Amino acid sequence: DAGVIQSPRHEVTEMGQEVTLRCKPISGHNSLFWYRQTMMRGLELLIYFNNNVPIDDSGMPEDRFSAKMPNASFSTLKIQPSEPRDSAVYFCASSLLGQVTLAGGLSSYEQYFGPGTRLTVT
């Protein structure tokens, strides 16, 4: 398997422009996670999907951010309009949720991360 695929790997855009990040999860995985990583805030979960349905979007910073997962093999994270403070590395990860029980409860197994998209907003 090719692993989690993200595109583009680097994106430089001007403030106010729309940015779309793309992710293809590992085939057969049922959960997909979008993270943002910065030096100041570390690795933060933005949103995650289970079976293409958004489960928790409490980490989405504001209405400028939106995410979709139209099918099991594709997801997008869109920022409109972009701002300099959105500059970060955005990771997509996928896992097989609910397939492994730990300590008697449903749990995720390993989350596999994509290579990330480095976004710079000027």
Partner 1 sequence: QKEVEQNSGPLSVPEGAIASLNCTYSDRGSQSFFWYRQYSGKSPELIMFIYSNGDKEDGRFTAQLNKASQYVSLLIRDSQPSDSATYLCAQESAGGTSYGKLTFGQGTILTVHP
Cα separation of 87 and 26, whole Å? 26
Strand 53-56 to 5-7 pairing: unpaired
Q: Phi and psi at residue 62, in whole multiples of 5°?
A: -170, 180
Applying CB under 8 A, among 10, 17, 55, 120 the residue interacting with partner 1 is 55
Applying CB under 8 A, among 31, 75, 82, 94 the residue interacting with partner 1 is 31
Applying CB under 8 A, among 16, 106, 120, 122 the residue interacting with partner 1 is 106
Binding of partner 1 at residue 19 (CB under 8 A)? no
Tokens of 58: 């409490």
Q: What are the beta bridge partners of residue 100? A: 107
Query: Interface residues with partner 1 (CB under 8 A)?
Result: 31, 33, 42-45, 48, 50, 55-56, 91, 95, 97-98, 102-103, 105-108, 110-111, 113-116
